[in-house]
Structure 1
């Protein structure tokens, strides 16, 4: 295939793996991220948008976010940044999604010594704009990827969708041993901003940032063993009682789509986190204390706090989650891959370590995956 991933020696953990651990579905072999737009702090953004309401300012300033990357409308002659019409926002999404996505994909492939010609399946994830043909087709044309490359698009599932895509591509990878598949999450969140000064808008605009992340997957062929965590199992939970708590729908007053986040979301997610994690670990012989690495979606300060409390995690367990929130805000579906990249750079994982990936989003939904290094 042309992918040449260096082999590394593996060391066995002192204790044997629990007998219930399922065989690996695929393996995560590389990651890359990219951002676009201008780096802006929360106080600077408040000034740029001319927000003076103390209640709204407090939402921005108490978000645990330091900076984000955003592409905002240019000010008009009077210095005011006007809301962009829906058509302009869709065009912005298309431009930024392709730009960031291409950079993240190239970074991911460079990370594993692969090239675009090695790519056999591309799954693109986005929730910040609608495109037909889909983002995967645009990426293939823009980057000159082999037009025979198989592809899939996951659109509109929200912040949890990166793990839904991982499930899809892991299954494809298992059916195509030795071939390269990539999950590409590219979210131009500032292409979904409403600048209307309402509390509903403030909750959203104080949180999201632009970013893209790509994850390379390869299923080991017989006799092969590459570095990177093996994907073992997935578990999902749709909280149907909160199906309207996170949504992106048409606002007739604004004449455009806008996000809505219910203030109760952190508590809904926290109250149900144990249910899905217990299901993920069921039958494996593992307990939560056996999980060495937790990669949780950077959904917001209150969401992270609720997950920490309800799962009995430490601040160290979610160190990458909180730092990604601080540095980039919530970059939607790719957030957990930004955290995974930080974990890879940290270099603290040991052969045999177990990890849990967790994302949350509309539905309301919690997605999880169990991996092992």
Structure 2
């Protein structure tokens, strides 16, 4: 059942954070002494200029220290707490809210396993009210930010006037494997560390004079591609004793081929056409993914300017990528009342998630 217009959830503020150290693609190649011409070409033709990474320390022999899976989990926890707290505070500040206003925290991550979850750890770390309800979405991958937005929007609709935050935290440096294979090189050339948070509320704000810059969240549509269920996945690498992420080279084309299907489903029964969408915020999944989606949806370079810019400046920061683009759109100040936007994320399943919003 669609909520009444006055109870539709609305985005109130966004915040992002990254780790303290960034590298150009050339600097990453130098750090790991990578000389294979095919791998170097992959890095240097990725449309990525710089990524924030937490690399293992040098081993004194021209390489980097091997990190066991336990070390990577420790890295994930420490990095996730630091980035997550920073993004959450930035989001609440932009929304004109305080930590004490938070009533539900929905955390997303796919780069490490935490039990208790990141939501509980942050509530303790930041002194958030112990009665704040919470949820954790773990392991869904790059699409999961919109899955979380659906959960949070439902919670906000059921609790008018109360504040919920979606927090995507991806310490991608804690999910790397180091070997000489092209499979590993594809992943290692792409992902970066990043966190992004979005505040949401339905119904009237406590302060009616507050300026709200974000859109209402109107509708969601999903598409699972069963034939590509293994195209993006985590496997256990028995040789290295840790998890390894796999990206099938056909992923961009599979995702692109299904983009029209899910967007048309999203717009069905709304009276809208694709040409009515003023703002497109597509996941920065990689150059080929962006190109494939753009071709199939007939998007212009201007439509995906923030998607391309986030990829260039941060790499693929997984579930939070679309919120980095959303932040840039808000900073641009071009969205006008009445404008429609489409949010789109892609990830393991293979899955495409979309949301329709209106300013």
Contact 2:3 2:157 in 1 (8 A): no
Distance in 2 separating the partners of 1:27 and 1:239: 30
Establish whether residue 52 from structure 1 lines up as the match of residue 21 from structure 2.
Answer: no
Cα displacement string for residues 259-303 of structure 1 (whole angstroms, at most 9, x for unaligned residues): 000000000000000000000000000000000000000000000
Query: What's the TM-score, normalizing by structure 2?
Result: 0.96
Establish whether residue 355 from structure 1 lines up as the match of residue 341 from structure 2.
Answer: yes
Aligned pair partner of 2:271 in 254, 265, 285: 285
Residue 33 (structure 1) aligns with: 16
Cα displacement string for residues 300-358 of structure 1 (whole angstroms, at most 9, x for unaligned residues): 00000000000010000000000000000000000000000000000001100000000
Residue 150 (structure 1) aligns with: 133
Establish whether residue 305 from structure 1 lines up as the match of residue 288 from structure 2.
Answer: no
Residue 242 (structure 1) aligns with: 228
Residue pairs, 1:65-214, within 5 angstroms = 65-214=48-197
Establish whether residue 296 from structure 1 lines up as the match of residue 279 from structure 2.
Answer: no
Displacement, 1:37?
A: 3.5
How many residue pairs align between the two structures? 354
SS of 2:142's equivalent in the other structure is helix
Aligned pair partner of 1:254 in 228, 240, 244: 240
Contact 1:25 1:171 in 2 (8 A): no
- Residue ranges of structure 1 left out of the alignment (5+ in a row): 1-19
Distance in 2 separating the partners of 1:287 and 1:322: 24
Query: What's the TM-score, normalizing by structure 1?
Result: 0.93
Contact 1:82 1:195 in 2 (8 A): no
Contact 2:33 2:62 in 1 (8 A): no
Contact 1:83 1:194 in 2 (8 A): no
Cα displacement string for residues 26-85 of structure 1 (whole angstroms, at most 9, x for unaligned residues): 000100000004110001110111100000111100100000000000011323203310
Displacement, 1:22?
A: 8.1
Residue 204 (structure 2) aligns with: 221
Distance in 2 separating the partners of 1:278 and 1:54: 42
Contact 2:8 2:203 in 1 (8 A): no
- Residue ranges of structure 2 left out of the alignment (5+ in a row): none
Aligned pair partner of 2:331 in 302, 325, 345: 345
Aligned pair partner of 1:332 in 318, 343, 356: 318
SS of 2:70's equivalent in the other structure is helix
Distance in 1 separating the partners of 2:36 and 2:59: 22
